[in-house]
Amino acid sequence: MPCAMNDATPQSGRSSTSSPAPIDPLADALIAPFLQALHARGRLRVWSIVITIFGDLVQPRSQPGAPARLAFSDLGRLTDSLGIAPGALRTAISRLTKEGWLERHKTGRNAWYQLSDSGASSTMSAGQRIYADNTASSVERWRLEVYKNPELAASAALTSPHIPLGDQLVLTPIGASQGHKSVQARGQSRGQSRDQDANPIGGGATLVFEGTITALPDWLQDSLVDPGVTQDYRELATLLTALADDKTRLEALAPHEATVLRCLLLHFWRRLVLKHRPLPASLLPRDWPGLRCRELLPPLYQALWSASEAWVDAAGLAPRPAGQGLPFTQTVKRSDR
């Protein structure tokens, strides 16, 4: 099983300064803003970009019993255009191989890499978040659990769909099949221990409210996603909005340039969407920039699809399995809010 990684992992896989490989001047005007943003926060975590590439471009070409592999030389040409130095790429590949994400296959002086079984499983699991809607379906009824012990609250809120609200509150959607109940508060019954609370979901909760949400304070909405992540979404939305005005030029990009831009779009999106749990759109501010990004990204990705898939074909990977098309499916519908 590969070690868990996030963008806070220390810098053994980061890039040293490198000038990107030459790109057609017309394409450069589209790609340059994303490259500038990619390098603006210091040295890159190259391993993360490599996982983006394998998860989006390579793994979908796998067939049963025949994992898709990408030549190191083709990977190098792609990362060179992303401004990643060859030495930084080799360091990242070595690390990912050592930690069980990638497997190496060599013939003579040529090397190919593929995701390991566990690496493929991890990226496919993440793909369910990356390519689907980044908000949960609409929710009408909720359970608010109040905990005396912050540690129990933190434990109860570890997994989706539980949503932490501060140190002692946990918000959980209630399935429609449970039927409507009036808002109620359940305290502790006499003779009942704190670990035997009547609450069927959050064991240890001292007080439980169930019902509908009729008003959402700003502080609650603002607390659902880290402010830094929201700001990153806002910056990405600005880049995507500018790119949307050049959709015709996107469709005319050559395969290499289209693939570079596709990798950039997916990497920015992937690193943000995996930083927070899926949230019902009804809980989020109507102008939350993550929703805007999710609206803008699929058509831009689609505009790059044909040319970038041609690049993958030219790299010698097997065709996508029959029936497998564009991975993005749902879009955020404002009318559902």
DSSP-derived secondary structure for 302-327: HHHHHHHHHHHHHTTPPPPPTT---S
**Residue given tokens 């570079």 in the structure block:** 260
Give, in order, the Cα–Cα distances in Å from 330 to each of 136, 224, 241.
11, 22, 19
84, 263 contact by CB (below 8 A): no
Q: What distance in Å separates the CA atoms of residue 278 and residue 294, rounded to the nearest whole number?
A: 13
The two three-digit tokens of residue 34, written as one number: 């994303």
Q: Which residues contact 98 (CB under 8 A, 6 or more apart)?
A: none
pLDDT confidence of residue 176:
34
pLDDT confidence of residue 19:
46
By C-alpha distance, which of 31, 283, 278 is closest to 162?
278
Q: Which residues of the chain carry a pLDDT beneath 70?
A: 1-23, 134-139, 159-160, 175-205, 329-337
pLDDT confidence of residue 54:
98
Where along the chain do its domains lie?
A: 1-137+232-337, 138-220
pLDDT confidence of residue 135:
61
Query: Can you say how many angstroms the Cα of residue 304 is from the centroid of all Cα atoms in its chain?
Result: 19
Beta-bridge mates of residue 280: 136
Its pTM surpasses 0.85: no
pLDDT confidence of residue 136:
56
- Measured between its terminal Cα atoms, the distance across the chain in Å is 39
54, 102 contact by CB (below 8 A): yes
Q: What distance in Å separates the CA atoms of residue 302 and residue 307, rounded to the nearest whole number?
A: 10
